[in-house]
Amino acid sequence: MPLLENGRITEDQWAVVADDAPLPEAPAIISLARLQREAAALAGRNAPLGVAVDNDVNPDTLAPFLPRLSLVQVVLPKSRDGRAFTQARALREYHHFSGEIRVAGHVIPDHYAMLRRCGASTVVVPPGSDPAVWQASGTVVTLAYQYAPAAPAAAETAVSLLRRRVA
């Protein structure tokens, strides 16, 4: 699946691995259940490791594993379910996760700028989508009302900060 990263379409280097499948010596995304079950064995793994979590998983659950993880994939099951936005923000702001936060599921181009402000690094582009629309989606809305410590460049354009500077 193609990914949108920094406004560019890129190829995915990660393999999603089923719970009963052996792990490849390449970057692999596993389930939270497998991560919890095989934590000790996975601690010695040299290849990058990622975890896919549902949108009802509290980011605090991932805290003990974050130093070992290179990627956390959160899922939007519906376009109007914003829990993945909260998960991304919590991972960046409260848990100081510096790895890749990937968003998959029912994502629409309108979400891209907001996901970036919440700390998402990449978005899985749905099959059949027009890459040009996705690439342009990051530049449609460039002004925000809230401060975003996860996205310092975007935070400088927050309306509240502009109003303070003018006053």
Which CATH number does the domain housing residue 28 bear? 3.20.20.70
pLDDT (0 to 100) of residue 135: 77
Residue found by looking up tokens 């003018």 in the block: 166
Does this model's pTM top 0.85? My answer is no
- Per the domain annotation, does 165 fall within a domain? no
- The helix or strand, by DSSP H or E, that contains position 134, with its residue range, turns out to be helix 131-137
- Per the domain annotation, does 152 fall within a domain? no
- Per the domain annotation, does 84 fall within a domain? yes
Give residue 23's Cα distance to chain centre.
22
pLDDT (0 to 100) of residue 16: 95
- Per the domain annotation, does 145 fall within a domain? no
Q: How many helices (H) and strands (E) does the chain have?
A: 7, 8
- Per the domain annotation, does 61 fall within a domain? yes
pLDDT (0 to 100) of residue 115: 86
Query: What domain range is 88 assigned to?
Result: 2-140
- Per the domain annotation, does 151 fall within a domain? no
- Per the domain annotation, does 78 fall within a domain? yes
Q: What is the dihedral of CA 42, 48, 53, 55, to 10 degrees?
A: 150
- Per the domain annotation, does 104 fall within a domain? yes
- Are the C-beta atoms of 161 and 147 separated by less than 8 Å? yes
pLDDT (0 to 100) of residue 71: 97
pLDDT (0 to 100) of residue 98: 93
Q: How many domains does the chain have?
A: 1
pLDDT (0 to 100) of residue 82: 83
- Are the C-beta atoms of 78 and 107 separated by less than 8 Å? no
Per-residue pLDDT of the chain (167 residues; tens, 9 = 90+): 789 888 888 999 999 999 999 999 999 999 999 999 999 999 889 999 999 999 999 999 999 999 999 999 999 888 778 888 899 999 999 999 999 999 999 888 888 888 888 899 999 988 888 877 877 876 666 666 555 655 444 444 555 555 555 65
Tokens, residue 111: 């979400």
